[in-house]
Every structure is written in C-alpha cells, then in structure tokens.
Amino acid sequence: MSRIRALATGAATAVRGIDVLRRAGLVPLTRPDHVLRSMIAVRRLGPIAGAAAAARDRHAVALVDDLGALTFDELDRRSNALARAFAERGVTDRSVVALLARDHRGAVETMLATSKVGARLLLMNTGFAQPQLVDVARREGVTVFVHDQEFGPLADALPADLPSFIAWTDGACGKTTLEELIAGTDGGPVPMPREPGGVVLLTSGTTGTPKGAPRQVRSPLAAAQFLDRIPLHAGEATMIAAPLFHATGFSQFVITLALGSTVVVRRRFDPEGTLRAVQDNRVTALVLVPTMLRRIVDLGAEVLGRYETSSLRVIFTAGSALSPELGDRAGRVFGDVIHNLYGSTEVSVVSVATPEDWRAAPGTVGRAPVGCRVAIYDDDGSVAAPGVRGRIFAGSGLAFGGYTDGRHKEVVDGLLCTGDVGHFDAEGRLFVDGRDDDMIVSGGENVFPGEVENLLVAYPGVVEAAVVGVSDVEFGQRLRAFVVVEGGGVTADELRGYVKDHLARFKVPRDVVFLDELPRNATGKVLRGRLAELE
C-alpha cells in the first residue's frame, strides 16, 4: 500500500512540476517537438550544455558580460570550438576539468565545452588560499586546470605537468588562452558524449578544506523546484551577481539558459554597476547574496534614484541569512520583489519565501516548493510541533548522493540533515534559527547568534553584526558581538542595553567589538572562526 501511495505522490508531483514549467514557458505544450529535444539534450549533455541547447531562438542574446553580448548560436559555436580543442589536447570523458574564474564568457564557455566532451567539471572558489586549492585539486583528481590570469600565483602551486589554460587575461600572457583555442578551431557540431560528465560543487569552506558535492541532473523537471515559487519566465533577462561557482549562482545560471533568457554577469561585483546593468539590460530578476543586497541599498536614495529599475520583478537572495531589517529595507526600495531562498550545496533548494510570505513574517524562508520535503526533528527525534525548535532535514530530486570522498550527510526518513536548526510557525512557514554548530552554550543556556544579530542590525547606525561564543571561566562561553557601524556615535553600552531591553539577559553580549568590516568568504558568509580568534 505504501508503494502505491509513493507512486501516486510521485505522479502528482510530476504533473504539478510540468504545470510549473508550462507557466514559466519552459514547456510549451504547443511545441512537443521542442519539449522532446530539450529532454534529450539535458539527458545527453547534462544540465549546462543541455540547457543552452534547448533555446528555441538561436539568435536571442544568451550572455552579456564585460566584453558585450553573445547569442545562443555564437555561444554554441564558440563552446563547440573549445570542446573540440580540449579533445585534441587529450581531454576525455574521464577527465576532471577544474575552473577557477570570475564570471565571464570564458567561464561559461568552459562549462559548456566540458559538458560537450563529457568530462567532469569542478567549480573552484575564487576565494581559495593556496593550500585549499592544492588539497581540493589532489582529492578531486584534477587533470586540466582553467583559470583567470589573476590566479596564476595559486596555479603555480599545482604540478608543473598539469595542463592549464587561461580563461581571462589582464595583459600579456605566457600561456595558451581559451580565446586562442576557440579562434583556431572549427566551431561546427561536436559528437555527443557517451554520458554527461556531471558537475562538482564545493561546500562553502568557512573552515578547513571544502568538500565536493557532485551534482547530476537528468530531468528538466528539476527546474520546477525553483520556478514553483520564483516567477521567472522565458525570454527575459536575469543578472547573476552571485558567483557562478556557488550553488546559488550556478543553479540560476542553468535555469536562465534553459528558459532561453539572457544571463547578465560581471567579473567583479559593484553595487552601482549592478544597478546600471539592470537598467541597461532591462533585467527582470537579480540573483545575489545578502551582503551584495546590503551594499546596493546602502548606496542611498540619491544614487538609487539615478537608475531605472522598474523592470525588476524578482530579487532572489540566497547563500546566507537575510535579516528582517535588510529584507524590509530592500522592499521599501524595490517593492514587493524579494524572494528569499533557503538551501545548501548538498540539498539544493529547501524552501522559498515569496514577497507575501515576507510581508506576513519578515525573516522567514517560506515554504517548500514542488518536489521538496522539509521536516524538523526535536531533541527526542520526533517531528517537532509548530514553534518548537529542532534540526532541519530536507530532501528533493536535486539532493546530492554523497561527497566525493565517500562521506555523506545524516539521513532520517529519506531526508538529509541541513546542519541548521529552525522551527515552523503556526502557518507552516519555516524559520532558520542558526547553524547547529554555531549554537553558543552560556551558563547552561542555548543561544543562537542569528536572533541577537538580527536585533543588533535593527539598531540605528549598525550596518552589520556577528555574534560568536568565546571561552569564559564562569559560564563556559560568553557572547561577543562584532559590529560594523556607519558614521560612529554608537557605543557598546547602548547596544548591550538595547539587547537587554528586547531579549533574555543571557543573550546580552558581554563584549562588543567594533570593526570596519566583517571577514567573509567569497560567497558572503561570515568567517566566524576568524572572529573567535580576535581579541
């Protein structure tokens, strides 16, 4: 009986998923031939090249970067040439191609070409230190290294006989560039690989060496998990400010290509430059991490008013927590367009808060979309009731099957542990209270930093805040707040008093340290370990 229920649930989910894709314009029911070609392309080429191949209008603009625009046809021919050049230089379906690059056409063409060869693509973090790069390259068995010229000093630590190519140059370059490979090679169609090579995303790596999380997508229905609660449509334009190597940027890059929409990227994030790109390209969706959103709204009314941004229907934030204060400020600037996604490299999408969710409950990460399941388990291992805090578990068709080193996440009832603690409200909206391993135990009381941080950034003049636990002889741990303020004038006593007026006494930071900026990794996550080391 349970098997019949599972089949019925799966069928209902598939039907709902198809309807989501239809509404987004990804599955035009009047063109079954196109739907079939799209499914075959994703099945044979994988999510990246398969998505690009599914575009109906080959002359539409596929990519806009610092160098200008490329149509889908131009991108296809250039990536064909690069795939052929790779193959001529020994890249096969057994190769692992590592990419360490900022967001530009060279990075995109490497992704497409690697898929067309059937090799495995490893997306490297541009914030890597040399030891991390070397460790990851060795563990993942990298056989080809593609990188921007600026990362040459990092590349020098890799074996001298490792084939490498330059994706972006800033001047004279002594190595072979992708542009040279493309210019000197035929861009005609290339043979289909025997199997799609797949993609390896890396965990954030705020401590230690990041783990590899393989991603294998074989069905266009996977896109429904994003499109169900985020109203992206075919033939529009999405600016991806979040880095393409990160799960947030990568997922929206693939979906935008699949929709036949234009991907707008820039090599380096600039808040005012982002507004200019939104205006110039009539961008309808902006994908970024909360620190980027804060830098944009912090530009102030005068700068914000210089740019026409009414085309924006979606501001998509993910990668770290969006505080109620920042989400509300962004809503006042851009209107009801904030979509707050919660997910992870391993699980992919878990839940999404729509503008309606956010208005009703600022700070929420919303509800699970089609094809996703979320459960919270309390300390006894039982499903937690609304309002009861517990560990968050989630699952979907996009969840990974285990790390490349053979390890896996904890699994309960088919759901993966996210590593976060949270709760549902009475209406079923999900809230993330913090990382399980970020919890501070002070005098026997459990404190999750997020609650204190959200309160601190609501205080006038406070721009950012992070709270960590430090050793304390009497209490085991005490709270230390690191705060970034604007213009000065805010004192530690004021902030301690403010927290004391709103939260329990044991949640008041004993120490308040003022910094010019918080240390973050390349995807905007606070490096709490580094803060804990500061005096």
Q: Each residue of 196-243: pLDDT tens digit? A: 888 998 886 544 677 887 766 655 567 777 888 899 999 999 999 999
Rounded to a whole number of angstroms, the distance between the first and last alpha carbons of the chain is 61
DSSP code of residue 517: S
Residue 364 phi, psi dihedral angles, 5° rounding: -75, 155
- Collect the ranges in the chain with pLDDT lower than 70: 1-14, 17, 26-44, 46-47, 51, 53-55, 204-208, 215-221, 398-400, 535
User: Residue 480, Cβ neighbours under 10 Å: how many?
Assistant: 21
Q: How far apart are CA 29 and CA 35, in angstroms?
A: 8
Structure confidence at residue 413 (pLDDT): 87
Q: How far apart are CA 438 and CA 104, in angstroms?
A: 35
Q: Cα separations (Å) of 453 from 166, 291, 342, 434, 450? A: 42, 14, 18, 11, 5
Structure confidence at residue 530 (pLDDT): 86
Q: How far apart are CA 381 and CA 378, in angstroms?
A: 5
SS3 readout for 390-419: EEEEEEECCCCCCCCCCCCCCEECCEEEEE
What are residue 420's DSSP bridge partners? 435
Domain boundaries, the chain: 66-218, 439-533
Residue 343 phi, psi dihedral angles, 5° rounding: -170, -170
Q: Residue written as tokens 């398969």?
A: 50
Structure confidence at residue 10 (pLDDT): 58
The CATH-assigned architecture of domain 66-218 is 3-Layer(aba) Sandwich (3.40)
210 near 125, Cβ under 8 Å?
yes
Structure confidence at residue 1 (pLDDT): 44
Amino acid at site 73: D
Structure confidence at residue 355 (pLDDT): 96
Using DSSP's 3-state secondary structure scheme, residue 283 falls into coil
Structure tokens at 356: 């309606």
Amino acid at site 70: L
Structure confidence at residue 27 (pLDDT): 63
Same fold, 66-218 and 439-533: no
8 near 212, Cβ under 8 Å?
no
Question: How would DSSP label each residue in 500-511?
Answer: HHHS-GGGS-SE
To the question of domain 439-533 being in CATH 1.10.630.10, the answer is no
102 near 179, Cβ under 8 Å?
no
How would you class 82 by CB atoms within 10 Å of its CB: exposed for 0-12, middle for 13-18, buried for 19 or more?
buried
Q: How far apart are CA 60 and CA 56, in angstroms?
A: 9
Candidates 314, 262, 225; CA nearest to 18 is 225
Q: Residue written as tokens 């690059």?
A: 101
